[in-house]
Amino acid sequence: MNEPTKIPTLKETITGADQLFSYCRRTCAHPNCQDFPSLALYRHMIHMADGVEILSTAKALLAILPLLRSMLECFLALEYIHQQDYEQRSLAWLCAYIHQEIDIRETIDPSTEKGKQFQKEAEKAQRYWTDTLLKPGSSLCTQTANLRMALNTETFSKVEAEYQRLKQKSGKAKWFQMFEGPQNVFQMARVTGWLAFYSIFYKPWSAAVHGTDAGSLGQELVDGTVEFKNLRFEDGLQYEVDGAKILLAKASERMARKFGNSGSNSGFLRSSTQ
């Protein structure tokens, strides 16, 4: 008689994903360019799943929900990138990421116009604000310059032009909107075939992120009244742990299919983030 297949625990799933990530990082052809988004999204999911596992042992159910929402959005992004036009979609993600990093650096750098404006607004809004709270290191300007230099290379010429077109058109540019892509996460879930999963889980998990999940904080007592739940409880805990396990396992399958056979190295992120 065949023994029943053992279903891995979340901890075992995380351990396997961590090992797979190391393999993908070693063998992928362009870990610092077009393969970087896949590695970053997958690694983020592993970190979030690890947090879910740790919180589950403490029975901190509600604290798990924002991590699950983060995992789901990363998973949909990974699915979308790998669905088709892999290099273009990867570079679109990377282009938007670089712009995000430039924006952050310029905001906290008091030598830039954006930084000067931020300091003025912060001083008005916060009574005890001082620019010493965000004094940048001496390498900040160099990092920003390197990131801008990366966007001006031939590798990014097409996606940067598309990013600027969208930015001029609507004032913002989400990476997945580029090249006539989905306009929001809902549409991304639809085109990747994960709409049913999204419809069931995304809104309640998002409610936890935004603090609008008041219903999950309460429980009905035997006398018909409603009271807040205890800080730690198990009701529904395994259900959410299984959600993390499913998302990470599916992401691992995607990464294994893509990077089972890969080649050498190339890169730009190393120099721009040091």
Q: Are residues 62 and 192 in the same domain?
A: yes
Q: Are residues 78 and 189 in the same domain?
A: yes
The helix (H) or strand (E) run that includes residue 227 is strand 226-228
Q: Are residues 99 and 128 in the same domain?
A: yes
**Distance between CA atoms of 146 and 102, rounded to whole angstroms?**
10
Q: Are residues 27 and 68 in the same domain?
A: yes
Confidence of residue 138 (pLDDT cuts 50, 70, 90): low
Q: Are residues 77 and 13 in the same domain?
A: yes
Q: Are residues 197 and 273 in the same domain?
A: yes
Concatenate the DSSP letters of all residues of 237-248 into one string. HHHHHHHHHHHH
Counting residues of the chain whose pLDDT is more than 70, the rounded percentage is 90
Q: Are residues 104 and 157 in the same domain?
A: yes
Domain that holds residue 40: 9-85+185-213+236-274
Q: Are residues 131 and 208 in the same domain?
A: no
**Distance between CA atoms of 191 and 260, rounded to whole angstroms?**
25
* Mean pLDDT value of segment 143-153: 93
Q: Are residues 70 and 101 in the same domain?
A: no
**Residue 226 within any structural domain of the chain:** no
The answer to whether 35 and 255 have CB atoms below 8 angstroms apart is no
Confidence of residue 265 (pLDDT cuts 50, 70, 90): very low
pLDDT of residue 223: 83
Q: Are residues 243 and 193 in the same domain?
A: yes
Residue 99 has pLDDT above 60, yes or no: yes
pTM for the full predicted model: 0.89
pLDDT of residue 218: 85
Task: Count CA atoms within 13 Å of residue 247 on its CB side.
Answer: 34
**What are the distances in angstroms from CA 152 to CA 98, 103, 157, 158, 267?**
12, 16, 6, 10, 15
pLDDT of residue 266: 38
Nearest Cα residue to 242 out of 201, 193, 191: 201
Q: Are residues 133 and 202 in the same domain?
A: no
Token pair of 212 as six digits = 């609008």
The model's pLDDT over 9-20, given as tens digits with 9 standing for 90+, comes to: 999 999 999 999
* Mean pLDDT value of segment 114-141: 75
Residues forming beta bridges with residue 267, ordered by sequence position: 32
Confidence of residue 71 (pLDDT cuts 50, 70, 90): very high
* Mean pLDDT value of segment 142-153: 92
**Distance between CA atoms of 93 and 143, rounded to whole angstroms?**
19
Domain boundary among 131, 151, 178: 178
Q: Are residues 25 and 156 in the same domain?
A: no
**Distance between CA atoms of 68 and 61, rounded to whole angstroms?**
11
Residue 132 has pLDDT above 70, yes or no: no
Residue 55 has pLDDT above 60, yes or no: yes
